[in-house]
Every structure is written in C-alpha cells, then in structure tokens.
Chains A and B, each alone.
Chain A
Amino acid sequence: MSQARQYELVYIAPPDATDEVLAELQTQVAAVVDRFGGTIDRTEPWGRRRLAYQINHQREGTYVLQVITGPGAMTAELDRRLRVLDAIMRHLIVRVDEDLAVAERAKARRKSATMERRVRRGLPPEPTETELNRRNQEDDDLDGGPDGGFRAGGDR
C-alpha cells in the first residue's frame, strides 16, 4: 500500500542567500523528492522576513514554503539532508492532508446541516439573495451592541 501524503516544508535560509543559493536548495529538495517518486505541488517563496528571535546570530531570514506529495520515507530523508545543509538555518516538515481533509469534512457537514435545517423550515436549501443582503445588514447592527444577547454573570 504505497501512500502518497501531502506535506508542507518550510525552510529558512540566511538573509544574505543569493538567488543561486536558493535555486540550488530547491534542486536539492527536488532531487530527494524525485528519488522517492514524489511531486512538488507548489513553491511559495515568502522572501525576507524578520525573525521573532535570533537564529545563528541572524535577525532576518529568507523563507521558502513548498507543498510536497510523497511517501513518509521521503520526509525522513529530507529532514536528514536539510539538517546537514549549512545554507538552511531552520526547517519544518508537517503533514497537512489529514488536517485539511478534517477541515473540509467539517465544512461539508456544517453546510449540509444548514441545508437540512432550512428545508425543515420550508425554505429553499440555499439562502436567496435578499436573505443574504438582510443578514449582512443585521450583522452590522450586531456590531453596535455586542452584549445584546448576554446576561451579566451568565457564565457561572
């Protein structure tokens, strides 16, 4: 049972890393991913960011996010390699497919529950446009008096 799992890989290169260095890092990652028959779904360079604390006496870092699909053994190898590389100050590999699936399911469940409730009340399953407009206006009203529905000390 070969499993393709989705992972997010974020690594931080030193702030003075040139484009060549970054490209080199990417090819190294790609090589490992290839070897395990995985694919890189997305690469998102975040660019230079201030670090919340110093790493290797650096106050800034160049962040790169990559979304990778592949087997679990791949992450072990990636992790090992990235730890050795000097051009990477920090990295993180997180499995995301399960959490995203859970979130997706929760969303779907909520939506179907809403539709069911609406049908039981004899309304069309999807809110009509006029309803949506009215709801937006009501939301605005709520912002004015947020404590409206709450009783003092009601949480005891």
Chain B
Amino acid sequence: MSDYEREGRGGGRGGAGKAKDGEKGAKRTFFRRRRLCKFCVEKIDYISYKDVKLLAPFIPERGKIQPRRISGVCATHQRALHTAIKRARHLALVPYVTD
C-alpha cells in the first residue's frame, strides 16, 4: 500500500496527495499534440494578403485573428500573418467581424 502510494506520487509529477491535484496532473498528461508552424513546415517565406486561401484557416468564424497559442504558428510568421490579414481586411477580402 505504502509502496503503491509512493510510486503514485512519483508518477504524478510531485503533486500533493490531494485528489484534486491528482486530477489536474492527469489532465495535463492527457495527450496533446505538439503543434508546428504551418509556414515553417511548408517553407512559405512570403505571406501575401492576396492569398485568401492561405489566410482563411487562421481566421475563425467570428473573424478575429487566431492567437498563435492555438494555431502554433511561430512568432515571425504570426507577425507576417497579422499584417497580411489586416491588409486583406482593408480590401474586403476577409471580414473584420462576422456576427
């Protein structure tokens, strides 16, 4: 019994014995795939505002720009994406907001 407990603690990322913490630990270890920057993987150097098909996956329904913590885009490319989307918005290629 005590052996089992010790083992459990070790596996639980040093969490205290409380059930709540145990649950949280379990949630954290839940499978989460590492996201990669689409533009790095596909080696896209220039993100053009004209390419609506390229921008579309980063503009969810509401019309806001998807944060990179969700999409996994790297900082450099998120910055380029950001300008491209704003330019596309100005030209009404992409919406500012959709209700």
Interface residues of A (CB under 8 A from B): 10, 12, 49, 51-53, 55, 61, 63, 65, 90, 92, 94, 99-100, 102-104, 106-107, 110, 147, 150, 152-156
Q: How many residues of B contact A (CB 8 A)?
A: 22
* Cα(A155)–Cα(B92), bound, Å: 37
The residue on A at minimum CB distance from B93 is A52
Does B35 contact A55, Cβ atoms closer than 8 Å? Answer: no
**Contacts A53-B96, A110-B43 given; does A155 touch B90 at CB 8 Å:** no
Bits for B36-80, please: 1 = Cβ < 8 Å to A, else 0.
000000010110011000000000000000000000000000000
* Cα(A152)–Cα(B34), bound, Å: 8
The residue on B at minimum CB distance from A91 is B91
Does A53 contact B91, Cβ atoms closer than 8 Å? Answer: no
The residue on B at minimum CB distance from A61 is B92
Does B87 contact A90, Cβ atoms closer than 8 Å? Answer: no
19 contacts between A and B (CB under 8 A): A12-B91, A12-B92, A52-B93, A52-B94, A52-B95, A53-B92, A61-B92, A63-B91, A90-B92, A92-B91, A94-B87, A104-B45, A106-B45, A150-B33, A152-B29, A152-B30, A152-B31, A152-B32, A154-B34
Summarize B's interface: helix, strand, loop or mixed.
loop
* Cα(A99)–Cα(B34), bound, Å: 29
**Contacts A92-B87, A107-B45 given; does A153 touch B30 at CB 8 Å:** yes
Q: Closest 7 CB pairs between A and B? A: A103-B45, A103-B46, A51-B92, A152-B31, A52-B95, A155-B34, A106-B45
